[in-house]
Structure 1
Amino acid sequence: MVNQFILKEFGNRIRFLRNEKNLSQEELSFITGFHRTYIGMIERGERNISLTNILVFAKAFELHVDELLDFRKSNSKLSFKDYQFKKDD
Structure 2
Amino acid sequence: MTETDSKDIDPYLRRRLADHVRRLRSEKGISQESLSVQCGFHRTYVSHIERAATNITLDNLQKLASGLGVDPAELLVG
TM-score (norm 2): 0.80
5+ long unaligned stretches in structure 2:
1-7
Residue 68 of structure 2 is aligned to residue 61 of structure 1: yes
5+ long unaligned stretches in structure 1:
72-89
1:18-58 deviations in whole A, cap 9, x for unaligned? 10110111111111111111100110000010000000011
Identity %: 38
The residue type paired with residue 5 of structure 1 is Y
- Superposition RMSD in Å: 1.5
Match in the other structure for 1:33: 40
Match in the other structure for 2:57: 50
Match in the other structure for 2:77: 70
TM-score (norm 1): 0.71
Greater percentage in helix: 2
Of structures 1 and 2, the larger Rg is shown by 1
Superposed displacement of residue 59, structure 1: 1.0
Superposed displacement of residue 2, structure 1: 5.7
**Mapped partners of 2:17, 2:71: distance in 1:** 15
